[in-house]
Amino acid sequence: SLSDRLGGVFDRLRGRGALTEADVRTAMREVRVALLEADVALPVARSFVDKVTEQAVGQNVLRSVTPGQQVVKIVNDALVEMLGADASELELSVTPPAVVMMVGLQGSGKTTTTAKIAKRLSGRDRKKVLMASLDVNRPNAQEQLATLGTQIEVATLPIVPGQQPVDIARRALQAAKLQGYDVLMLDTAGRLHVDQALMDEMKAVADIAVPQEILLVVDSLTGQDAVNVAQNFSEQVPLTGVVLTRMDGDARGGAALSMRAVTGKPIKFAGTGEKLDALEAFHPSRVAGRILGMGDVVSLVERAAESIQAEDAERMTARLAKGQFDMNDLRGQLQQMRRMGGLGALAGMMPGMKKAQGALATAGGDKMLIHMEAMIGSMTLKERAKPELINAKRKIRIAKGSGTTVQEVNKVLKMHQEMSTAMKKIKKMGGLKGMMAMLG
């Protein structure tokens, strides 16, 4: 899946101390493949990757301590931007009746979504809603909508056998006006494939009903073909938004990205099940998160960005690059961890470290951080720079000064030694993830 793939790409990026521009480009090629596999349309994937690459290379990501995480953040932000701002839902503030027209392929979920939106409008928004089915192609399509109407206690236009869509639309509009409805929902017919007769019928209905909203209903499982569908419909009628159905299934998320890019219109709702209350406002950030599928890495990056001072970070990077790591460095890292919400909070945000979270919390991990800082605080500057000076006598002094025990001082020294060895061995590893791995 896209999530797994991107996860893999960024696992490789995360925790590496320094990236070259070539690294970023390689990673972005993989992102592109991942997007294509998630059914994002080729031109959409291409322009997305170009944009993100430019940002990643341009924003000094290469010099930062945690370039992988910065890249993740850039990709996430770009996904959210591409998916659009949080949806405005429906624009129905006109002299009633406001007309909402549903269009899309057969089986995409138009009729179900018509009823879902009607239920939402009549319940939550206390609107008086009338629904009318213009589907004269599929047997019993009008009855299907009438049945749903009964279930959700929303009126449907009485069926006149043999009447054609344009005439039904005209009749529905008149009924809605005369009977004081706030909203008229028009459910239209779909075909298995886009065809011109259907398009002409849809345009004729739109000319008569002048809808405030024309919503394109797209099955999020449709894959690459969803883009052609969106393209075709948006060329024929002035769409105002998109509804993605079957978001409850294992949709790969790619359809959402393509829809937004191709139609230029916001995704207003997500259908999340067959039941008539399974309709949600569309939240780009949630979908981006789903696409990235990597725990809460993004908020981790944001917190890191807040708490890490740029100069500290650069100094640290330089030292790590030389394989240097003294007690002051250890203390800096401990303080940083505490500023970011402690070990438990950090573990909770790291993918694959959720299990460690509980253990760290119960083991008093954060208290441990404070103790360790206190011990380092009780060391002289010379001891901090050259921990090998710390003999038995000095250990007793440090333990007393920090209100700890010699055993605990030994632990910190051992930890420092292990980390310093590791730093030398894997100079590139640096940063948070390496620290966490060793602490956890």
Binding residues vs ligand GDP (CB under 6 A): 104, 106-112, 190, 245-246, 248-249, 271-274, 278
Residue 53 or residue 111: which is nearer to Mg ion going by CB?
111
Handedness of CA 428, 432, 436, 438 (dihedral sign): positive
**263 annotated binding-site participant:** no
Distance in angstroms (rounded) separating the CA atoms of residues 168 and 187: 11
395 binds, among Mg ion, ligand GDP, none (CB under 5 to 8 A by kind): none
344 binds, among Mg ion, ligand GDP, none (CB under 5 to 8 A by kind): none
- Minimum CB separation of residue 92 from ligand GDP in Å reads 22
Number of chain residues interacting with Mg ion (CB under 5 A): 2
**199 annotated binding-site participant:** no
117: closest CA among 77, 163, 78, 154? 154
416 binds, among ligand GDP, Mg ion, none (CB under 5 to 8 A by kind): none
156 binds, among Mg ion, ligand GDP, none (CB under 5 to 8 A by kind): none
Residue 311: exposed, middle, or buried by beta-carbon count in 10 A (0-12, 13-18, 19+)? exposed
Q: At what angle do helices 327-339 and 365-377 cross, to 10 degrees?
A: 140
123: closest CA among 160, 158, 154? 154
**250 annotated binding-site participant:** no
- Minimum CB separation of residue 215 from ligand GDP in Å reads 12
248 binds, among Mg ion, ligand GDP, none (CB under 5 to 8 A by kind): ligand GDP
Q: Does 108 engage in binding with Mg ion (CB under 5 A)? A: no
- Minimum CB separation of residue 109 from ligand GDP in Å reads 3
Long-range contacts of 283-286 (CB under 8 A, 24+ apart): 283/86, 283/87, 284/79, 284/80, 284/83, 284/84, 284/85, 284/86, 285/80, 285/86
- Minimum CB separation of residue 191 from ligand GDP in Å reads 10
Out of 70, 76, 108, 111, which residue is the one contacting Mg ion (CB under 5 A)? 111
The pair of three-digit structure tokens given for residue 31, joined into one six-digit string:
């992102």
Residue 206 or residue 432: which is nearer to ligand GDP going by CB?
206
Q: Would you give the distance in Å from CA 316 to the centre of its chain?
A: 31
**107 annotated binding-site participant:** yes
Residue 207: exposed, middle, or buried by beta-carbon count in 10 A (0-12, 13-18, 19+)? exposed
Percentages of the chain per state (helix, strand, coil), in multiples of 5: 60, 10, 30
Distance in angstroms (rounded) separating the CA atoms of residues 273 and 322: 55
φ/ψ (deg, to 5) at 268:
-95, -35
**401 annotated binding-site participant:** no
The pair of three-digit structure tokens given for residue 27, joined into one six-digit string:
């990673």
Residue 247 or residue 327: which is nearer to ligand GDP going by CB?
247
264 binds, among ligand GDP, Mg ion, none (CB under 5 to 8 A by kind): none
- Minimum CB separation of residue 233 from ligand GDP in Å reads 13
Q: Which residues pair with 279 in a beta bridge?
A: 271
**66 annotated binding-site participant:** no
How do beta strands 183-187 and 155-156 pair? unpaired
- Minimum CB separation of residue 134 from Mg ion in Å reads 10
430 binds, among ligand GDP, Mg ion, none (CB under 5 to 8 A by kind): none
**352 annotated binding-site participant:** no
- DSSP state at residue 271: E
272 binds, among Mg ion, ligand GDP, none (CB under 5 to 8 A by kind): ligand GDP
Q: Could you give the count of Cα atoms lying within 13 Å of 192 in the half-sphere of its Cβ? A: 0
Residue 78 or residue 194: which is nearer to ligand GDP going by CB?
194
**122 annotated binding-site participant:** no
- Minimum CB separation of residue 47 from Mg ion in Å reads 34
**79 annotated binding-site participant:** no
- Minimum CB separation of residue 109 from Mg ion in Å reads 8
Residues in contact with Mg ion by the rule CB under 5 A: 110-111
**Which residues contribute to the annotated binding site for GTP?**
104-111, 187-191, 245-248
**Which residues contribute to the annotated binding site?**
104-111, 187-191, 245-248
